[in-house]
Structure 1
Amino acid sequence: MAQSDPSDIVQPISQQSPTAPQPIVIQNYPSSSLGWRILAAIGWMGVFLCVPIILGQAITSASYYDTTEGVSEKYVSGSKSADDKIAIINVKGVIMEGEGYIRKQIDLVKEDKDVKAVVVRVDSPGGTVTGSDYILHHLKELKKERDIPLVVSMGSMATSGGYYVAMAVENEKDAIFAEPTTTTGSIGVIIPHYNISGLMKEYNVEDDSIMSHPRKQMLTMTREMPEEHREILQEYVNQAFGRFKDIVKEGRPDFAANPEKLDVLATGEIFTANQALNNGLVDKIGFVEEAVARAAELASIDPKTSRVVTYEQPTALFDLGLAQGKAMNWDKMLELSAPKAYYISSYLPPVMSSFPFGSR
């Protein structure tokens, strides 16, 4: 049998010489059908529709779990790159329910483990009894939970409920600083009441309200207040006043040892910074920088190598009460007409609380 010539044997492409020309294989793919194109278009439309929905759900979820509502940290002084922080919590304006900006600041500090000390900056004439007590409670909880020192810096005014909040220092020494021009004090309670019954008689207007009991109208402006009702309300005020003085004794231990001294001061009278210092209502005359230095000292950190921060409140578009085109916020007006006890240095607390500078 004749042997075949090796040159006649066709080798696989992979075994051919590298210099040998490579065959070009061309495959023809069928063109996409109209059906496939429609399916692809539908798929892309689904993607475009789903992305906004998914993003919207993510934003909604983030908003649901976000308790800060736009309150953000801002650098004040010290080292910008430092880990240790001294936080300044602002209590400004008329105090109403206590929720809102002030509570959000407290929550931010509570969650930030880099904060080693707190300065509460008080610039407030006070507000409602409940709102002031709410803020005091949460400041104390912050101190207890984080085990960090707290110092108070008083601004232009820290009266009544503003002074009440300052008692969050408890028995810490040299912890309340008042600026040279600070107005403080006004330790007392008031339930505003106005009597327009004489005016109504003059214009022949009668209050013909139907009530379950005469005491339901104890604070009505349209009738003379009976002595029985006045005694009931006075007892209510006395109890709120007693709690105020007890809180002051916690923050000013010297008054606990000498309650008669506090009774002399707790008349609703306001005091200058020097008068407050001489009477033991504050510890030092100094600005916020001195308060920061004291907080750093109590925390055993250096204020120059720490980062001092505060918290900014976002500016609402309709802060003047004209939101959504409403000329009058009737639910707020109704709220203001309800009887409330106030720790406040003012003769028109309900009117003041309706303005946008309220700290809420």
Structure 2
Amino acid sequence: MARASALLTHWGTRLGPLFAALCLPILLGACIQVQLWGVPRPFQETVVYGESGPKILLLEIDGVIVEQAPEPGILGPSEDNLVSRIREQLDRARDDDEVRAVLLRINSPGGTATASDLVYSEILRFKRERKVPVVAQLMGLATSGGYYVAMAADLVIAHPTTVTGSIGVRFVSVSLAGLLEKLGIEDQTLTAGQHKDAGSPLRRLTPEERAHLQSVLDDLHTRFEQVVVAGRPKLPPGGLERVADGSIFSAPQALKLGLVDADAD
């Protein structure tokens, strides 16, 4: 808590009293919260403490970050997908001059590369247009795409039990070719395009296909690294190489490596 409080004082001096107020929900409990729930729930504003006035926009980055909407549940239609929900929240807040800061509350294992980049880019655009500070509060899990989104923030604060990192990209594929051979089942897939079925579980990858797929992953990983460098410009020399290998880190480890600015201990 002492480390986080000292950091709050430093950033509050640089960016003004409202930035300090933004951090208070993390360290002391929320003051003013603006929340837009997904469809079909309406726009909501909640005064948690004190008088109504300048607002903090709370963005919940919760669960897997994907572009598709969840399937309807037994209780009726589900909320809109995360990307659309965040975009709608920011669009509404963009026209509200009382919104003076943004708090990202992240509890996510990650998601698709594109969905994570879309959410990150939307938050970054809002921050630049409105010139407001952004704080990321990392909860239980803020890995992969969850950490990617946090890089849009000016200040990243982890919970003492946060697990974060996992700066990497993966392509999951299995081959059932050996099993199919034992069962006497032959793959007769037709394709137009030599590598159209690369990664199919019905056959093994060729060395050429494996190299090509690896190059695609490498490009996506490079983009992730660029986002981390932009969001953590004070990483120590060699710091990126130490953290961008896909490893996960505890909050104390992340603080030592420069992935977060403080833990709220």
Per the normalisation by structure 2, the TM-score is: 0.76
Q: Which residue of 2 aligns with 1:147?
A: 131
Question: Which residue of the partner structure matches residue 117 of structure 1?
Answer: 101
| 1:115-145 Cα shifts (integer Å, max 9, x gaps) | 1111111110110000000001100111111
What is the CA deviation profile of residues 216-263 of structure 1, one whole-angstrom value per residue up to 9, with x for unaligned ones? Answer: 0111011010010000011111111011001100000023x73x2211
CA distance in 2, matches of 1:142, 1:73: 19
1:99 Cα deviation after fit: 2.7
CA distance 1:92–1:76, change in 2 (3 Å): farther
Matched residue type, 1:138: E
The separation in 1 between residues aligned to 2:140 and 2:89, in whole angstroms, is 21
Partner residue of 1:249?
229
Deviation at 1:70, TM superposition (A): 3.0
Cα separation, 2, equivalents of 1:119 and 1:194? 40
Does the aligned pair in 1 maintain the 2:65–2:83 contact within 8 Å? Answer: no
Letter in 2 for 1:272: S
Which is greater in Rg? 1
Q: Is residue 86 from structure 1 mapped to residue 44 from structure 2 by the alignment?
A: no
TM-score, scaled to structure 1: 0.57
1:217 aligns with 2:177: no
- Aligned letter for 2:128? K
Pick which of 121-130 and 92-101 moved more. Answer: 92-101
Q: Does 1:183 align with 2:163?
A: yes
- Percent identity reads 37
Answering whether residue 264 of structure 2 is matched by residue 286 of structure 1, we say: yes
Query: Is residue 68–residue 108 contact of structure 1 (8 Å, CA) maintained in 2?
Result: no
C-alpha distance in 2 between matches for 1:71 and 1:105: 11
Structure 1 residue 68: deviation in Å? 6.3
Q: Would the aligned equivalents of 1:71 and 1:104 in 2 still touch at CA under 8 Å?
A: no
Q: Which amino acid is 1:207 matched to? A: D
- Hey, what does 2:75 align to over in structure 1? none
SS of corresponding position for 1:87: strand
User: Which of 189, 212, 218 matches 1:238?
Assistant: 218
Quote the RMSD (CA, aligned, Å): 1.7
Per-residue deviation at 1:76? 5.8
CA distance in 2, matches of 1:166, 1:71: 26
* TM superposition shift of 1:72: 2.5
Structure 1 counterpart of 2:17 = none
> Secondary structure of 2:152's partner?
helix
Distance 1:91 1:71, change over 3 A: farther
Distance 1:234 1:191 in 2: 9
Within a 5 Å distance, the mapping from 1:4-153 to structure 2 comes to 69-75=40-46, 77-79=48-50, 81-97=51-67, 99-153=83-137
CA distance in 1, matches of 2:85, 2:40: 9
Provide the rounded CA distance (Å) in 2 between the counterparts of 1:76 and 1:156.
26
Counterpart CA distance in 1 for 2:49 and 2:197 is 56
Once the two structures are superposed, residues 255-282 of structure 1 have per-residue CA deviations (whole angstroms, 9 ceiling, x without a partner) of 3x73x22112111111000110011000
The alpha carbon displacement at 1:102 in A equals 2.3
Q: Given that residues 68 and 104 in structure 1 are in contact (C-alpha distance below 8 angstroms), is that contact kept between their aligned partners in structure 2?
A: no
1:272 aligns with 2:250: yes
> Secondary structure of the residue that 1:116 maps to in structure 2?
strand
Report the count of equivalent residues. 214
Residue type of the partner of 2:62?
K
| 1:71–1:105 CA contact under 8 A, matched in 2 | no
> What amino acid does structure 2 have at the position aligned with 1:284?
A
Could you tell me which runs of 5 or more consecutive residues in structure 2 were left unpaired when the two chains were aligned: 1-37, 68-81
Contact in 2 for aligned 1:186/1:266 (Cα 8 Å): yes
Structure-2 separation of matches of 1:269 and 1:73: 38
CA contact (8 A) 1:218 1:229 kept: yes
Partner Cα separation in structure 1 for residue 57 and residue 178 of structure 2: 53
